[in-house]
Amino acid sequence: MTLTTTNRPSRSASGAVVPVLAFAGIVVAVMQTLLVPVIKDLPLLLDTTPSNATWVLTSTLLSGAVATPIMGRLGDLYGKRRMLIASLTVMVAGALLSAFTSALLAMIVGRTLQGFAMGAIPLGIGLMRDMLPREKLGSSMALMSSSIGVGGGLALPAAALVAQHTDWHALFYGAAGLGVLAIVLTLLTVPESPMRAAGSFDLPGALGLSAGLVLFLLPITKGSDWGWSSPTTLGLFAAAVVVLLLWGLMELRSKAPLVDLRTTARREVLLTNLASIMVGVAFYVVSLVLPQLLQLPTATGYGLGQSMVVAGLCVAPLGLTMMFTAPVYARLSARYGPRTTLVIGLVVIAIGYGGGLGLMDAAWQTVLTSVMLGAGIGLAYSSLPALIVGAVPAAETGAANGLNTLMRSIGTSVSSAVIGMVLANTAHQVNGVAVPTMHGFRVSFLIATGAVAVGLVLALCLPRPARSTAPQLRASSEEDANLSRAQEVLGGFRGRVLDAAGAPVA
């Protein structure tokens, strides 16, 4: 179905490629985390109702979910570097629009445009696969994959500091500036990938997937407002099932589908994507619970009474630890493979949540929990793209990693909805205000532990990699493609190989 070109990159990859691509991923994470410190103030800032204000967050989630697989496929077809720059450019435009407005509709449009930057993660991973040698690929993909957590961990206290001391629109100016910097650095240091998939862009498939994702994610994010048993919520879920089934049938009949469902149905790809959902759930629970626990007043009897900035600093080790696990992942993966490393990461996450149940009495305890969970999530996140890259053709890495990133996004969306419902249903009313309880926090951690257990079962069901008898020094997609082409050219060749004296050697 797909072919690849073997032209050389426009220029050789420099040592700056990996940090620049990782920086682009961090910029995307900053964009996602930007409004977390001011969530509770959005209705006042935008002069609207709390229900309407949530669209500012929901719009980014929906556009990111739609853009991730689409931008990945466009990168496979027309160039991953080109699409990476396009994603960041759309994000900058959205950030500038949001920076100049306090109107709800314009803010929603701006945040929708910012969500398109989510495509940068699979595009960056695809570029690394196409250009880097095997000995550098593991740690580089690990850093790119964990950049979401790194950026989120760093952005939370920084955004809180800005929101407390300046006009909140400065958050968007900062995001736009980071986006422009990422674009400039990409133009200067990252060469275009030589890999191309054959065929044309599957526009009907893109529209069908977009419609199905919106119909599925919309009731997940708004179900608590509309009611989980309301006709609107149930109707949208039913419509999502119908649309996605029809989309799947259409993709199976397409000669150049947006998502190759036959490849996606392979055991290793399917199980990895399902495990990605569970890791996404686990990642978001700590991001929802710890900041609230830290900021609740001590008068509640369990709140830690910290400021917004201190709460962000206590959670920041989550992202920092994810960054420092990249070289650890590379060593573990080189020795045991990404499957075993994923299992180790999930076990560490389970220990983190289990221990976290008893570490909620002081700010320093939340730091320990953040470090433990960051280590586990970093190992797990780093393993996922390696498993996908090893299971799909080189020309499909953009679309395949885009789908995998989408699975993680679905996990975070489900986590947000479920944990939000748990905290709301266990909350106490204090002067008309719903205050989360310690019971709700602990139930949330137990849910995360359950998700990790499911992910662990899925990871253990992944096929074990075949042992290689000879070391492989490179595994860039370009050399894979060259080898494949050489095999095709020489497939019909017959003869003997002679040494300088004319004696046969093969």
Please list the rounded mean pLDDT of every run of 10 residues in the chain (506 residues). 47 72 88 78 82 80 83 86 94 95 92 89 84 75 73 76 83 93 94 80 87 86 82 93 93 83 85 92 86 86 84 84 79 85 94 90 91 91 84 74 81 81 80 80 93 95 67 41 42 43 46
Residue 491 belongs to some domain of the structure: no
pLDDT at 130: 82
Q: 183 and 249: one domain?
A: no
Residue 476 belongs to some domain of the structure: no
Residue 64 and residue 33 in contact, taking contact as beta carbons nearer than 8 Å: no
Residue 136 belongs to some domain of the structure: yes
CATH number at residue 308: 1.20.1250.20
Q: What is the largest CA-CA distance in the chain?
A: 97
Element (H, E) at 501: none
First to last CA, the chain: 35
- Could you give the residue ranges of the DSSP H alpha helices within 254-362? 261-264, 267-295, 308-336, 338-356
Measured between alpha carbons, how far is 342 from 329 in angstroms, rounded to an integer?
Answer: 9
Question: Could you tell me if residue 79 is left (phi over 0), alpha (psi between -120 and 50 degrees) or otherwise beta?
Answer: left
Q: 79 and 210: one domain?
A: no
Residue 32 belongs to some domain of the structure: yes
Q: How many other C-beta atoms can be found within 10 angstroms of the C-beta atom of residue 355?
A: 15
Torsion over CA of 26, 31, 33 and 38, rounded to 10 degrees?
150
Q: 329 and 215: one domain?
A: no
Residue 5 belongs to some domain of the structure: no
Measured between alpha carbons, how far is 407 from 393 in angstroms, rounded to an integer?
Answer: 19
CB within 8 Å of 499: residues ≥ 6 apart: 505
> pTM, whole model, 2 decimals?
0.76
Residue 92 belongs to some domain of the structure: yes
Q: 233 and 381: one domain?
A: no
Provide the 3-class DSSP secondary structure of residue 428: strand
Residue 233 and residue 219 in contact, taking contact as beta carbons nearer than 8 Å: yes
Provide the 3-class DSSP secondary structure of residue 434: strand
Residue with tokens 């205050």: 435
Q: 213 and 172: one domain?
A: no
Phi, psi of 429 (to 5 degrees): -90, 120
Measured between alpha carbons, how far is 413 from 151 in angstroms, rounded to an integer?
Answer: 18
Beta strands in 87-149 (DSSP E): none
Domain coverage including residue 234 = 202-257
Torsion over CA of 21, 25, 28 and 33, rounded to 10 degrees?
-150
- Residue at which a domain ends, from 257, 279, 301: 257
Tally of structural domains, the chain: 2
Measured between alpha carbons, how far is 141 from 307 in angstroms, rounded to an integer?
Answer: 35
Torsion over CA of 392, 395, 397 and 400, rounded to 10 degrees?
-70
Q: 320 and 385: one domain?
A: yes
pLDDT at 469: 42
Q: 223 and 334: one domain?
A: no
Measured CA distances, 375 to 122, 442, 456 (Å): 22, 21, 16
CB within 8 Å of 187: residues ≥ 6 apart: 85
Closest CA to 451 of 283, 220, 264, 322: 283
Residue with tokens 């289990």: 354
Dihedral sign from CA coordinates of 22, 404, 195, 484: positive
CB within 8 Å of 439: residues ≥ 6 apart: 426
Cα-only R_g, the chain: 23
Q: 117 and 212: one domain?
A: no
Residue 6 belongs to some domain of the structure: no
Q: 251 and 265: one domain?
A: no
pLDDT at 66: 82
Residue 499 belongs to some domain of the structure: no
